[in-house]
């Protein structure tokens, strides 16, 4: 696992994002996080702990709990494990903008193939089975399994941080004040 791309894209001293450290393997539960990120374009960053780093996908529309709504998830560079605790403002530079921890929890990896895997999430908002399917280069689909957690309700309407209870818009205002 390498965090080379993560490091290359950023000025970590300036951005105050977590250091590019690959975690030693440890026993125990695997974590996931979904960060809502007001960058040039709003998106949700879906990250799964794997081999000491966070495998990451950017989801423009955010996740859905409806099995009929397949969400595009663009695979991006691995992030350090500590990134799961990052909430705040990334100053000018790569990924500039506000970030909240939209959801977090543990997960199990139920099935892993080269071009797809299946996970069960135990988050505060996202629950139950999800498939990630690679259909073209770095493009994947995130698809909710048809289980007891499936619903047509829009989960992105739950818009507060599960950590600070703040809305992304509140941080965006702070970001704008700072950059004025």
Indicate the residue among 153 and 169 with the shorter CB distance to Mn ion: 169
**Closest approach of Cβ 27 to Mn ion, in Å?**
30
Residue ranges in contact with Mn ion by CB under 5 A:
37, 45
Q: Taking CB positions, which residue lies at the least distance from Mn ion?
A: 37
**Closest approach of Cβ 170 to Mn ion, in Å?**
18
Indicate the residue among 42 and 50 with the shorter CB distance to Mn ion: 42
Chain CA centroid to CA 157, Å: 17
Chain CA centroid to CA 137, Å: 19
Please give the DSSP secondary-structure letter assigned to residue 102: E
CA dihedral of residues 93, 94, 98, 102 (deg, nearest 10) = -170
Indicate the residue among 22 and 96 with the shorter CB distance to Mn ion: 96
Indicate the residue among 38 and 162 with the shorter CB distance to Mn ion: 38
| Count of beta carbons in the 10 Å neighbourhood of residue 43 | 20
Using a 10 angstrom Cβ sphere, with 0-12 exposed, 13-18 middle and 19 or more buried, the burial of residue 26 is: exposed
**Closest approach of Cβ 151 to Mn ion, in Å?**
26
**Closest approach of Cβ 43 to Mn ion, in Å?**
6
């Amino acid at each position: 696992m390498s965090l080379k791309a993560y490091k290359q894209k950023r000025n970590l001293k300036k951005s105050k994002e977590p250091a590019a450290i690959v975690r030693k393997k440890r026993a125990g539960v695997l974590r996931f996080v979904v960060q809502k990120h007001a960058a040039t374009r709003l998106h949700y960053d879906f990250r799964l702990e794997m081999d000491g780093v966070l495998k990451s996908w950017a989801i423009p529309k955010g996740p859905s709990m409806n099995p009929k709504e397949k969400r595009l998830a663009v695979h991006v560079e691995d992030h350090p494990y500590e990134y799961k605790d990052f909430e705040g403002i990334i100053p000018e530079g790569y990924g500039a903008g506000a970030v909240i921890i939209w959801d977090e929890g543990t997960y199990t990896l139920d099935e892993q193939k080269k071009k797809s895997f299946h996970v069960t999430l135990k988050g505060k908002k996202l629950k139950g089975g999800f498939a990630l399917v690679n259909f073209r280069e770095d493009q994947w689909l995130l698809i909710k399994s048809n289980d007891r957690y499936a619903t047509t309700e829009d989960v992105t309407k739950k818009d507060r941080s599960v950590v600070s209870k703040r809305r992304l818009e509140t941080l965006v205002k702070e970001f704008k004040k700072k950059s004025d």
